[in-house]
Structure 1
């Protein structure tokens, strides 16, 4: 048991008085550095007036523009070729829009993958696999190539593990992403090491290895602590996630204390990844929630609840900056210099990629100090940090980021006077789907593929998180555009909307058209696999999940209720992809697109 090793650790070994320090190189790599700010440094970019229009950063806009001109024309034509090979005739306008050399007419597509730990990461990977043009089965199904034609991808919690891992590993095939490439010693990437746990201090059956593992993960954050920065159990979580989702770790060296295990990998390092530099991968965004200490309790100790009000700020991280388009803030800080709070002393090395993923997946329902949780994993992690690295008055179950936005906001920014931002799991406000970045009007998203892997009933999604996103968007009318959806998950369940792909927003051209794909239940005739809830995965289980997710993503919604698959699904999806540009051109839906949209659109 973890608790036994923990007591042994605290009773028999004081890492900081005996001079025995494990993972010292990782500790150095994980420690932020301070120095003079560069000339003409600007700490905060105002994102514009929410009422009159917000703007993207110049770097993001440049990336999207370059991807649109250099990559998307060929990607859309390849995708269209795969759709055509399914044999379903398309209206002329679909051929024109998706195969046109006029890049301004090409749709802007985004994929959002929900939280749900390893289960969400696995299911989201399966959906992307069904959209990947490098997957022969996906190409034959007519869905392959859509991933290559996508402009954005976002994740929170387990979804963040997927999207950032995929981006930093140089956009490999999904099977290589999850299981690892055949030559990890060359690529530096070893896969997700799925046979070892992500949210535990005892990933091995070997007690000695677990003892070493606790020493390593704790020692790796001591440099940050010694440099005067507060640390929490989210820093411990970062060490575990780095071993699974970042370059540098394989199953063979997982417990090697001479390996960095992702320490020193910065989120902004994405800009140097070859497929990112060539604009060949979607622009990646990770989402986290702001946690206000009020009304949850005074500074110090841990949070007393697990619910974040929907009005709290939602933060997003990308390769260039971190901040929020929420009207309370509408500001961003440069990613490279996160940890900086003024324009004279600049901090680098705080934006560890593992810490960003951990901030997005610190689900407070687990990580809290209530009596019921103190003997669970989170309580043991809190005890480990609290006893090893005492920090009176520091909240230990949130991600602690120096606040670059002090004195900013429009008066409703609740952290305006806080020295630290407290961030938690992006789904703690009830929105397990990271849709908000793609409701920002400046991104001009035409089609939003929402991958819902929330575990609402029997580890299946029932649409509840999706409805929460609609409720939250309604708090800011005129700022976020959200299509009509059912008012409650009862409608989702009654109409089986989680059991097949469903389109939302078919009649609201001012909003993104949402293609909703949920882990709502197995396909007809199949045994449930994708609702598996475990912290470790065998290769056979992984292959089973990827195969079943492929079927769920490509089955469509057959007109014949007795059929298992819709032979028109690839064409119907292409109709949805082209629909917003069709609307802008003033063309009526025709042919298969007219019947498809009538069948797939929720009304």
Structure 2
């Protein structure tokens, strides 16, 4: 395939910015006061998009309309009748958004892979993916690791993932060179590390000397800038978030609008929960739609002391406060996770880093981003039912927007004011001990609309985590909100959501959020797996999937206009739409018909495997063997799975996994997987075994995932998605998946280096971090700060 010419060779400070004054007025990280005679109304009431955003949309809409028309014409070209495309566009184009999920570097790389799959600048994306859809997206949101992806491409002149791949290397400080820890950025090059730390310390001191509050979050943001904006001096220490307004690609409507999400730590609290107020960060404004604030402030003048939206000192405004690294840090900072544990060891370590980067600077909040003065001070746009605590406080303390549970940044895209038709949403959440999603994040956003804080939001109905597991909704794409007639009880009709959960195709992408170094090969493998997640394995699992995405894009407009729905779209929706079925609706299993067996296997660790044998009359079966092998057949309406288990006797090839077929399914054949645990690992290997817990229907099974030195890429052992009759007999093993279709991004993968510690963390709950031992927590902190 012909590779796109890399844009990065021409990327420079001058090409990033279109005007000479698009830098901090102090030419440093420090903000400055300027004369702004007559400037009023810096903070406005919410309830509508800003005039600046509306003006930008007037430029962007024609671009996205043309791109979506091209995309839809292509992906529906094999429909018996695709005249619906012309009918829709004669009345007005659909509008789409992309929500890039968090998850540290795991999230960043997988989100990048999804974007590459939607980008017609990626070679092969049109033939084997969703190429052109990204060009038709109006808004793109990021949080946590997703914000690393969105900020990188947006503030490198809307560069493509392919461009980043083309120049990717280890040790050369190119974009996303993650070969060294963020707080040991030079690796063995101590001079580079020392220079970075000296520059960061000087930047923070300059901001403090200018009269503005600082914290370790400033240091965190400044250091990560070296990984995202290596072409800019000091990783973008003088580059402002609002400067994107002056970038040609943005000004001309040639790129989506970037929005990131952060959460406010309520006064008196240590961290943010699901009911905490969230802040939207877009190129024009800093603000919240939620009733606790209901106001937006001009991003360019963030840091100005205001009262009811007007400068306290007439004619005096602050500019340069909205540094791009500081703003990105507000939605990605992990320091609060560590700090809230209250462990004396961490308290001591945080104090050491406070001394290192803050010196003698005093601060009342070390672990959060401090926005002071509060731009909403004295405003009256909030709901009295929510109280006035956030409009009376002098400062706002901000943390990662996913802390409360919303690891997928969906809320800005759901707003009625933006009138989107479809949202593509990745889910790279750390919900299970094995670091796979279980639906918790999207459930959090759905649930929040019924809380007071989310009373102005709407989100399609989604099931509970038990149903996500029972129906296999985290194994393949799922569409939520397919029929607007079922959503009339909500505040308004929200966009249809295309849910793309993290799963293994060519690579075991369940890498810990606390993994801060990746080799080039590992980064490329993660990006490729993200591509495959978004495309159902390069369209080999379902050759019609791109057309199904086209149907999702058109659905709201089709409903509004009352157009005839193509039969191909009807088939797609039968496969991919969640139809309201819950785990509790599945065929009941009488207790007298069940038998349960618990076994304990010793391998330097004890664990319990519980297996259940079901009656032959149910539509799936679990068969228990002495070797703790589980076979699960999903969604066979009138058949059972039959298979013979294979056992890995000597661990010579690690885990034995293969696919079997259901004999007599009405709609075709569904996938079932046999997983046999390793019985007799060779001496010296047992300490490196990894155990995976897979929950499917009513069965929970733990198996030996891999033995060291085996060379196996196995990392997933769950069955196929519900209602997917197209992907008969599809294997989950890395070797089988890799050979099933073209390798779009042309990379070779190997397993990542095993972590030095074991983590059991649910990143969807900022105040609930489960760690195996205090030593493990110390290892996490040490790994982050470059000690191990």
Could you report, residue by residue, the CA deviation over 1:367-414 in whole angstroms, capped at 9, with x for unpaired residues?
A: 44722561797564334345x03315x111110012010122233242
Partner of 1:515: 498
Q: Secondary structure at the match of 2:135?
A: coil
| Equivalent residue, structure 2, for 1:396 | 366
Q: How does 1:45-56 map to 2 (within 5 A)?
A: 45-47=44-46, 54-56=47-49
| Change over 3 Å in CA distance of 1:278–1:202 after alignment to 2 | closer
SS at structure 2 position matched to 1:366: helix
Alignment partner, residue 543 of structure 1: 524
Residues 1:429 and 2:404 aligned together: yes
**Partner residue of 1:481 out of 458, 468, 473:** 458
Shift of 1:366: 2.4
Point out which structure has higher relative CO (alpha carbons under 8 A, 6+ apart).
Answer: 1
Is 1:59 matched up with 2:39? no
Provide structure 1 residue ranges, at least 5 long, that are not aligned to the other structure. 1-24, 48-53, 250-258, 297-302, 559-563
Tell me the TM-score normalized by structure 1. 0.83
**Residue 75 of structure 2 corresponds to residue 83 of structure 1:** yes
Tell which structure's C-alpha radius of gyration is larger. Answer: 2
What's 1:68 paired with?
Answer: 61
Q: 2:234 aligned to 232, 239, 260, which one? A: 260
Q: What is the alpha-carbon distance in structure 2 between the residues aligned to residue 377 and residue 515 of structure 1? A: 42
**Partners of 1:90 and 1:180 in 2: CA distance:** 43
More helix by share: 1
Structure 1 residue 72, shift from structure 2 partner: 2.0
**Alpha-carbon shift at residue 339 of structure 1 (Å):** 0.3
Write the distance in 1 (CA, Å) between the matches of 2:484 and 2:532: 29
- Contact 2:97–2:420 (8 Å) recurs in 1: yes
Report if the CA contact (8 A) 2:339-2:346 is conserved: no
Q: For 1:468, which of 426, 444, 453 is the aligned residue?
A: 444
Report SS of the residue matched to 2:110: helix
Matches within 5 A, 1:225-264: 225-246=208-229, 248-249=231-232, 259-264=233-238
| Residue of structure 1 in register with 2:383 after alignment | 410
Deviation string 1:316-363 (CA, Å, 9 cap, x unpaired) is: 111111100001211011010000122122100000010000111123
Say if 1:43 and 1:333, in contact at 8 Å, map to a contact too.
yes
Asked whether the 8 Å contact 1:328–1:413 carries over to 2, the reply is yes
Match of 2:736 in 1: none
SS at match of 1:191: coil
2:305 equivalent to 1:341: yes
Q: 1:168 to 1:238 in 2, by over 3 A?
A: same
Q: Does 1:555 align with 2:536?
A: yes
Aligned to 1:10: none
CA distance in 2, matches of 1:494, 1:553: 22
CA distance in structure 2 between the partners assigned to 1:26 and 1:55 by the alignment: 31
Which residue of structure 1 lines up, in the alignment, with residue 137 of structure 2? 150
2:122 paired residue number = 135
Whether the 8 Å CA contact 2:100–2:143 is kept in 1: the answer is: yes
Partner of 2:423, secondary structure, is: strand
Distance 1:88 1:413, change over 3 A: farther
Deviations 1:501-557 (A, max 9, x none): 1000012261210000011x213xx44145365312222222211222211111189
CA distance in 2, matches of 1:541, 1:518: 19
SS in structure 2 at match of 1:284: strand
SS of alignment partner, residue 30 of structure 1: coil
User: 1:19 matched to which residue of 2?
Assistant: none
Q: Which residue of 1 aligns with 2:175?
A: 191
Query: CA shift at 1:212, angstroms?
Result: 3.8
Measured after TM superposition, the shift of residue 190 of structure 1 is 4.3
Q: CA RMSD in A?
A: 2.6
CA spacing shift, 1:203–1:568, aligned 2, 3 Å? same
Aligned to 2:337: 365
Q: Is contact 2:221-2:333 (8 Å) kept?
A: no
Does the CA-based 8 Å contact 1:91-1:593 persist in structure 2?
Answer: no
Q: What is residue 269 of structure 1 aligned with on the other side? A: 243
Q: Separation in 1 of the partners of 2:139 and 2:345?
A: 37
> SS of the counterpart of 2:442?
helix
Counterpart Cα distance in 1 of 2:396 and 2:289: 16
Is contact 2:121–2:160 with CA below 8 Å preserved after alignment? yes
- Alignment gaps of 5+ in structure 2: 1-23, 486-492, 580-788
* Mapped partners of 1:439, 1:390: distance in 2: 41
In structure 2, the CA distance between the partners of 1:493 and 1:373, relative to structure 1 (3 Å rule), is farther
Q: Is the 8 A contact 1:267 1:356 kept in 2?
A: yes
The Cα of 1:492 is off from its aligned counterpart by 1.4
Taking the aligned partners of 2:526 and 2:566, their CA distance within structure 1 comes to 36
| Aligned counterparts of 2:348 and 2:105: Cα–Cα separation in 1 | 19
Is 1:531 aligned with 2:511? yes
| Counterpart for residue 291 of structure 2 | 327
- Structure 1 runs (4+) greater than 6 angstroms displaced: none
Whole-Å separation in 1 of the counterparts to 2:36 and 2:389: 27
Distance 2:567 2:537 in 1: 18
Tell whether 2:283 aligns with 1:280.
Answer: no
C-alpha distance in structure 2 between counterparts of 1:391 and 1:136, whole Å: 52
TM-score, with length taken from structure 2: 0.64
8 Å CA contact 1:154, 1:160 repeated in 2: yes
Distance 1:410 1:383 in 2: 41
Q: CA deviation at 1:588?
A: 4.1
CA distance in 1, matches of 2:193, 2:214: 22
* Deviation (angstroms), 1:225: 0.8
Q: Name the SS of the counterpart of 2:290 in structure 1.
A: coil
**Residue 176 (structure 1) shift:** 1.8
Partner of residue 93, structure 1: 84
Q: Deviations over 1:153-195 (max 9, x none)?
A: 000111111112211111122122356489xx9xxx9422322
State the distance in 2 between where 1:339 and 1:397 align.
19
Q: Is the 8 A contact 1:430 1:468 kept in 2?
A: yes
